[in-house]
Each structure stands twice: as structure tokens, then as C-alpha cells.
Chains A and B, each alone.
Chain A
Amino acid sequence: MNKTFNQKAWYFVIPVFVLVAFNAAVPLMTVVNYSFQETFGSNVFAWEGTRWFKEILHSERFHASLGRQAIFTFIILLIQLPLGIFIALTMPKKGWGVPVCLILMSMPLLIPWNVVGAMWNIFALPDIGFLGNSLNSIGFDYNFTQQSGDAWFTTILMDVWHWTSLVVLLSYAGLNSIQPAYYQAAEIDGASRWDIFRYIELPKMKKVLTLAILLRFMDSFMIYTEPFVLTGGGPGNATNFLSLDLVKMALGQFDLGPAAAMSLIYFLIVLLICWIFYSLMMKDEART
């Protein structure tokens, strides 16, 4: 068969190239550019090679914030996944309760992130905030602006409040796709509630849960806005997570070189973990 050659179709791809170039490729390459140079004012640059990368990789400050970040994400996943699944299991399957629950569950997800931070900041203030004041009045010495444990507690509580709904909604969708016949069949077999969860619900929810883990990992690992508004990384450096630290370094101290190197390392870590996770998921998929 003779193909007619008409290269005009390429013109249609140009807008995409331009868009991707400006929102991804160009900024990323700028960062790469910074990461290998020392930046002085008035556009004077000096070549530094891999110095910033080495410095960052050996810097205790980076290790500390990476550690904080890892612990935070780990705790978040540990709380939100089981809690989300549990809430989804207890949600009604039909009747007027369904829309009510779904709307209530979606509400936190609809609130802008900085508003969530501001809300929780006020909510948790030890003197006038409802949470802070209540905790203090029943005898707890609670002050998230001064005690690092309290700051962690508040940040985690805020994130659980904000994001558990996502896990709930995904799990609920997964649960709803299970045909009632599965439950009946298990009942006839004499399976217990736990058996039904372990051998029917959990395997059937596998796909949505993988998605939930992936999304919650990425979001919590890159968390910025809410702790920025809530604690600003404090007290001290207690809740200074990776992205907070990065912004402090780049904009606060104007260390563009190290900050660029750090953001590339940060980016690669997220990419690597997601890639490992994704390929594990796909491997499982290919088998079935």
C-alpha cells in the first residue's frame, strides 16, 4: 500500500511541545543548570561540578529532614490506610446514609490546603483554639508552637483529618464493586467476618489500595503548604520536612546551587520509590 506523506500533522503537536517545554522541561533544566554552578548576583555563574550534590548527600541537615520526612510519611500511611479501610467498611451500602457519608467524606478534600493549615493553626492554639484550649483544660500540657511532640501530633492529626477521606472513598469504591454473591458464597462456606475481610474484601480492594498507597505516599512525602501554615517547620526544626527545608534553603538563604541539587535528589527519591512501587504493581498485574 502506498502511504501518502503529509508532514503537516506535526504542526498539531507543536502546542503540546511548547506547553510541556514551558511547564516541565525548561524549569527542570534550569534547576539542573543551577545545581552544577555557584550563583552570584547579576547573572554571574561559576562552575562547581558535583560539589553541591556531594555536600547535600553528606549534610546532616539534609539527613535530618529526610529522616523526619520518612517518619512522617510512614506514620501517615500506617494510620490512614487501616483507618480509611475501617471507615469504608462501616459506611452504609444503600439508603440515604450513602450520599450523606460521601459528602461528609469529600468535604476535607475540597478545602484549599493553606486554609486547612490556617484552620488547624487556629483550632489548635493553646489559649483560644478549641482543640488546644480543651486539651489544656482537661489537664494536658499542650502547646504545639513550643513542644515538638505536640507539633508532630497536631500535624499528623491535621493530615489524617485532611486525607483519610481519600483512602475511604477509594476503598468504598473497591468494596462496592464486590458482588453480593461473594459474601453469600462465603457465608455458605461458614466463613467468619475476618475470613470474609481477609480472603474476599482485601484481595478485591487490592487495586484501589495500591493506588491509595501510591497517592498518599507521594502527597505526604511532598507535603508543604499545611505544615508551612501550621507550624512553619517549628518549633525549632521539629517539623521541618523536606520541602519546607528546601524552600528555606532556596528562598530564605538564597543558596540556589545546593537548593537545586537538593531538589533534584528529592525528585529522584520520589521518582525512584514510585517507580519501584509501580513496577511491583505492574508485575503483579502481568501475572494475572
Chain B
Amino acid sequence: MSLELKEVEKKVGIETHIYSTNLKLEKNTINVLLGSTLAGKTTLMQIMAGLDKPTSGEIWFNGENVTGKEVQKRNCSMVYQQFINYPNFTVFDNIASPLKITGINSDEIKKRVGKVAELLKLTTMLNKKPDELSGGQQQRTALARALVKDSDLILLDEPLANLDFKLREELREELPKLFEDRDCIVVYATTEPLDALMIGGNTATLLEGNVVQYGKTLDVYNKPENLTSAKVFSDPPMNIAEINKSGDKFTLTDNNVQWTSNVNIKDGNYKIGIRPHNITTYKEGSNSVEINGKVLISELSGSESLIHFTNGKLNWVSLSNGIQQRNIGEDTKLHMNVDEFLYFDQSNRLVNHG
């Protein structure tokens, strides 16, 4: 089983929503579409589902060209950011709705709904109606509806975006387990890099209608093909600067911060990308270099501290463990972990990492 997009393109009027895209999703995989709003995640999913037709290009499923095939005749299910359930059906009837249409007998329906309800902790809610449930339970019902029929393709369009923090964490942990033993392709759209890392599988980074990179999630994270992919897959945003290399000496063009490294690239000008967690208030890694900064904002989020600082023209973010209180306007010393730098050439391609 596989889903393949061949040079799929989507235009609405004169606007291009999806630029020519090739993507092959294998069976039993979870695939994350990662990108900000308007990156084209939803459009891509709707094309995969058959809710929308591509302007050009083909969609192949299991070796069959399904480009024009109606969504009703495909075997897929979808969960949305909004909690979509039939408003005047009970939870049981909601979950059973995709099965009822296929004409399966009622004993079998009961059995399957019961099983899915148990998996999603909805067993005690079966007789309630959606608007009597909390947001988390409503989304669980929607997920149960998607899981109850044995779809070949399950599409999840930012399913956790409208949930409270706690509920989101809880459901995010459960999600990968739900799909573990299923014979299907799962596509999961999200704006949050953390979601992608926690869900694992494969990730496609998207920007403005382009699939920038597709591969194993950790590979995409550790070895972004280019600066765009690295930017998309970084939250808080990646710190970027121009550097110059000569011999084993590296210099930040803006402020002459220097370090040495045995990274194997030619002498010349490059760009570096530094993830915020590689700039810390304490030393980390065997090779680190100091940078001075004037604090713009300092935010504490639970057990982590975000410090936004400036140094010359640079406007960077650092992420440290623990509570690191800094006052606005204060001059502070930060440490950059040189081994984790990503080096990009002038055309923004990754040339070396670490």
C-alpha cells in the first residue's frame, strides 16, 4: 500500500496554493506535514482525500490512479482542527455513522464501536451528545469515527490545535500508539515542530505551497537540506548569521565573535543556523564559545527560560534549562554550543552540521 503524489499542482484563480509536488507515502507510516498556516497542509490533505482535485498532476493509490475518484468511493477518514461530529447523534451513533452507511450488521457495529470507544476512553460517554462533552472528548469522538472503519488513509488536520495544553499533551502521547497496529497510511498536519518530533515517523516540511524536504523525522530535524527546512522545523525560531571561515577559524561577520572548529568545509563565507537550545546561559558541549547580549525579553515557561537578546545587528533567541532570570536591558553572557551549528552555503544548502 502506498500513496503517491506525482507532480501535483493546485491553483485557485491566479494564486498557486500548491507548487508541483512529488511525494510518496508508504504503508504503515505516520507522516507529518509541518508548516505554518497557509503553507498548504490542508490543501494537500484535501487533494490526498479526494475532497479537492489538483489542477494538474496525478494521485496514485496502491498502483491505481485515483486522481478523479470521488471521496465517497475512497476508503479514507479525516479529523479536523474543529471538533466535527453530528450534533444530534449520541457518541455511539457518531462513531457508528461511517459503518452504518456501509451496511454492516448491528452486532458487528456494536462490537467495533465498543472496541474503539475503549481505546479512546469514551466507554462511559457513549450515550451522551457531542455538546455535553468537553473539547477533548469531542475530539476523541471524532478520532474514534476516523478509526472505526478500516480506512487505508487517515488524515489528521491539526487535530490538537483547539485543545487545552494538558489535553493536547495527553492526546499527543496516545496518538502514535493508536496507529501502531494499523494497516494504513496516516498523515498528520501541524504547525508545531514539537508535534512532529513527538509523533516521529516521517516529516515533510512545507513552506508557501512547496514541500521543502521529506524524510525520517529525525533526519529532517538533524540534517535539514536547506535553511528553509531548518527554519520551518525550529521553534523558537532558528538564529541565523553570516560567518566567514578561514582555516579552522570561524568569525561571525556582524560582531567578530570567533571560534575554532575542525568542520570540514572550504574557506569562504557561509550562513550558520543555531537552534535556540544551543545558546544557553551555561556551558554545554565540549566546544563552546561566548557571546555577549543585551536582554530584550526574558520569558520563563515552566522549567525553561527563553531569553531574547541583541548583539549588534543580531536579534537572537536562547533557550536554557531551569529558571534563568534576566532583567530587560541587562548585559548578559551566553554560551553557544559550536558542535551543534548548522552550516549553509550562500545558496542556503546545508554543507555541514556539527
Contact = CB atoms under 8 A, between A and B. Distances in A.
Interface stretch (A154-162, A177-185, A254-262): A177-185
Contact of A188 (B49, B81, B86, B132): B49
Given A190-B101, A191-B101, A185 B80 contact: yes
B84 A187 contact: no
Nearest to B49: A188
B300 interface: no
A200 B86 CA distance: 6
Contacts of A184: 46, 49, 51, 71, 78, 80
A72 to B, nearest CB: 32
A200 B80 CA distance: 16
The A interface is mostly helix, strand or loop, or mixed, namely helix
A184 B84 CA distance: 10
Contacts of A187: 51, 71-72
B70 to A, nearest CB: 8
A190 B49 CA distance: 13
A204 B85 CA distance: 11
Nearest to A182: B84
A199 B132 contact: no
A189 B101 contact: yes
A179 B80 CA distance: 11
Contacts of A189: 97-98, 101, 145
Nearest to B72: A190
Interface string B49-84: 101000000000000000000011000111011101
A188 B82 CA distance: 16
Contacts of B51: 184, 187-188
B86 A199 contact: yes
B255 interface: no
A199 B88 contact: yes
B312 interface: no
Contacts of A200: 86-87
Nearest to A186: B86
Nearest to B132: A288
B223 interface: no
Contacts of A182: 84
A186 to B, nearest CB: 8
Interface in A180-210: 181-182, 184-185, 187-191, 199-200, 203-204
B89 A199 contact: yes
Most chain A CB inside 10 Å of its own CB: which residue of B78, B86, B129: B86
Contact of B129 (A181, A199, A288): A288
Interface residues on B, range: 20 to 34
B101 A188 contact: no
Given A288-B129, A288-B131, A288-B132, A188 B84 contact: no
Contacts of A204: 87
B89 A181 contact: no
Contacts of B89: 199
Contacts of A190: 72, 98, 101-102
B97 to A, nearest CB: 6
A188 B131 contact: no
A185 B78 contact: yes
A185 B82 CA distance: 11
B53 to A, nearest CB: 13
Contacts of A199: 86, 88-89
A194 to B, nearest CB: 13
Contact of A179 (B84, B101, B102, B129): B84
A188 B87 contact: no
Nearest to A187: B71
Contacts of B88: 199, 203
Most chain A CB inside 10 Å of its own CB: which residue of B89, B98, B102, B131: B98
28 contacts: A179-B82, A181-B80, A181-B84, A184-B49, A184-B51, A184-B71, A184-B78, A185-B80, A185-B84, A185-B142, A187-B71, A187-B72, A188-B49, A188-B51, A188-B78, A188-B98, A189-B145, A190-B72, A190-B98, A190-B102, A191-B101, A199-B86, A199-B88, A203-B87, A203-B88, A204-B87, A288-B129, A288-B131
Given A188-B51, A189-B145, 7 more contacts: A179-B84, A184-B46, A185-B78, A187-B72, A190-B102, A199-B86, A288-B132
